[in-house]
Amino acid sequence: MSTDAIDPQRFRHVLGHFPTGVVVATALQEGGTPAGMAVGSFTSVSLDPPLVAFLPDKRSTSFPKIRQTGSFCISVLSGDQEQVCRAFAARGGDKFADVSWHSAGSGSPIIDGAVAWIDCEIQEVLEAGDHYIVLGRVLDLAVGTNAAPLLFFRGGYGQFTAASLSAPARPDLLAHLRVMDCARAEMEQVAQESGCECLAVNVVGDEIVTIGSAGQSYGQAPADRIGQRMPFVPPLCDLFVAWAGEDVREQWLRRLGPDVPAEDLAAYRDMVNRVRARGWSMALGGRSHIAFELALAQLSMPRPTPEQQRAVREAARQVGPHSHEPDELVDDQPYRVRNISAPVFDVSGDVVLMLTLIGLPRVSRLEELASYRDRLCAAADRITRRLGGRTPVAVEDPLRGRSAASTG
């Protein structure tokens, strides 16, 4: 049979029986206008070097805009982002009007709520009939939300529900449950002794998730607090970055977007170094924190809207690098403390949980804070030991008497 005999409609119909995921390929044009298109032809290509590809139609008006920037970012859409897909499959118009996004390292938009993202520079654009094959060299990539992906099959949208998804997800869930199980009694005790609320917080993908609460609730009912998600952006949860590799820290910093002043980036890095040196973390309160709390309270759980998430991310940016981990801790100075946190480590020395005390007296002197901090750190160290983990030695702690600082 000659190729002439292949009717385009038949071609589409038959190929439509091959299911695909759906991604959005984006780039940020000069002048700051974003461009993007929905793509079903995305694929991984090579591990060494790390290459991916997608196939834009030569008639696409968005691809030339992406091509001109020399880079692109792929956002893998989640099952509840069908509307996002429709917006990016439309020709023309402002595709980003109802979509919230933040910047990848290349400046290209990452669609908020994406299952994963892959930031690339264009390595090569090959001719392929009425399409191009765009080879992208991967610069950075990460898992986003924990949601199931959006699928496209026989002209319709669907979600992935096969049993195989629960298999890889289950060990993850079990790990969280095991950690919480070990932590619960300690959290209750530290909450009772301190009269504060003790939260258990974890990082899932690029989000911070509150997975446990003990003691008298501060501000929010525990039912609202548990499962609360917020973006894992600086300066939030620097504890999860302090003992991780440089790549994790830099990825965390990149979530702030491309236009962060160099001195702010340096201040965030100093902040992280201080946490590692001290072995615990402290967030100071202020006006920007009130705005941040308000933005958090607006999140409609369990599925906050992109606008709400954008507002939280922006509020976190406004908090900035100077309200966490004050440089010098001075004994007789009063501090407006928002919370203090201590890390729980696993066997490989990774932080698997953060214990946070909130609702401390608003203004405290350092000596007063020491007793809260000692209780919290001791509880975190006991949980670490129960998990078979190892607490690294704090190298410099201006607060005396950290009982477990020498736990090996």
Show contacts with ligand FMN in window 149-168 (CB under 6 A).
Answer: 152
Identity (one letter) of the amino acid at 255?
R
Residue closer to ligand FMN by CB (options 40, 392) is 40
Instruction: Find the shortest distance in angstroms from Cβ 59 to ligand FMN.
Output: 7
Find all residues with CB under 8 Å of 183, minimum gap 6, and list them.
200, 212, 344, 353, 355, 383
Establish if 285 lies at the interface with ligand FMN (CB under 6 A).
no
Tokens for 229, please give them. Answer: 């998600």
Judged by CB, which is closer to ligand FMN: 159, or 298?
Answer: 159
Please state, in angstroms and rounded to a whole number, the distance separating the CA atoms of residues 153 and 163.
19
CA angle 339, 342, 345 (to 5 degrees): 155
Phi, psi of 59 (to 5 degrees): -85, -5
Q: Which two tokens stand for residue 185?
A: 């009694």
Residues 359, 320 contacting (CB under 8 angstroms)? no
Minimum distance from CB of 55 to ligand FMN (Å)? 5
Piece of 86-94, 161-169, 309-317, 397-405 that binds ligand FMN (CB under 6 A): 86-94
Please report how close the Cβ of residue 106 comes to ligand FMN at its closest, in angstroms.
19
- CB of residue 263 to ligand FMN, shortest distance in Å: 39
Tokens of 190: 């530290």
Q: Among residues 88 and 372, whose Cβ is nearest to ligand FMN? A: 88
Q: Please say which residue, 41 or 217, places its beta carbon nearer to ligand FMN.
A: 41
Shortest CA distance to 57 belongs to which of 38, 73, 74, 70?
38
* Minimum CB distance to ligand FMN, residue 58 (Å): 8
Name the segment binding ligand FMN (CB under 6 A); options: 36-44, 110-118, 362-370, 372-380.
Answer: 36-44
Site for ligand FMN in 37-66 (CB under 6 A): 37-41, 55-57, 60-62
- 167: Cβ–Cβ under 8 A, 6 or more apart, which residues? none
Task: Point out which span in 84-92, 246-254, 269-277, 285-293 binds ligand FMN (CB under 6 A).
Answer: 84-92
Measured from the CB atom, the residue of 60 and 371 that comes closer to ligand FMN is 60
Beta-ladder partners of 280: none
C-beta of 25 vs 196, nearer to ligand FMN: 25
CB 58 within 8 A of CB 130: yes
Q: What's the min distance (Å) between Cβ of 95 and ligand FMN? A: 7
> What residues numbered 88-127 form the site for ligand FMN, per CB under 6 A?
88-89, 91
Question: Which lies closer to ligand FMN via its Cβ, residue 65 or residue 402?
Answer: 65
Strand pairing partners for 117?
75, 142
Residues 6+ apart with CB under 8 A from 92: 61
> Contact 203/145 with Cβ under 8 angstroms?
no
Q: Which is nearer to ligand FMN, 88 or 252 (CB)?
A: 88
Residue with tokens 């946490």: 275
Q: Tokens standing for 364?
A: 């405290």
How many residues sit in the footprint of ligand FMN (CB under 6 A)? 17
Give the residues lining the site for ligand FMN (CB under 6 A): 22, 37-41, 55-57, 60-62, 85, 88-89, 91, 152
